[in-house]
């Protein structure tokens, strides 16, 4: 089963968030909904790592959670 790709980024996602999500996906290559959820939690708890601060961290976490839900909805 293939997961959501970078091609399905919502139009409301800022370019900074899209770039951060792409970097996270490239570095960590999440394969399951649990992986995406873990990365989302890490993004929020480590907001200081993002140049855009907590706002960007929340946007990134939201996109990662959206991808986790898409995998759950797709089923096994």
pLDDT tens-digit series, residues 31-50? 999 999 999 999 999 988 88
- Residue 20: pLDDT over 90: yes
Give the pLDDT score at 2. Answer: 46
- Mean pLDDT (the chain) is 87
Round to whole Å and give the CA distance between 12 and 21: 14
Q: What is the pTM of this model?
A: 0.83
């Amino acid at each position: 089963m293939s997961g959501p790709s970078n091609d399905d980024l919502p139009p409301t996602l800022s370019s900074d968030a899209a770039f951060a999500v792409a970097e996270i996906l490239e570095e960590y290559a999440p394969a399951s909904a649990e992986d995406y959820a873990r990365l989302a939690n890490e993004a929020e708890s480590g907001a200081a790592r993002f140049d855009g601060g907590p706002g960007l961290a929340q946007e990134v976490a939201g996109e990662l959670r959206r991808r986790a839900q898409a995998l759950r909805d797709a089923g096994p």
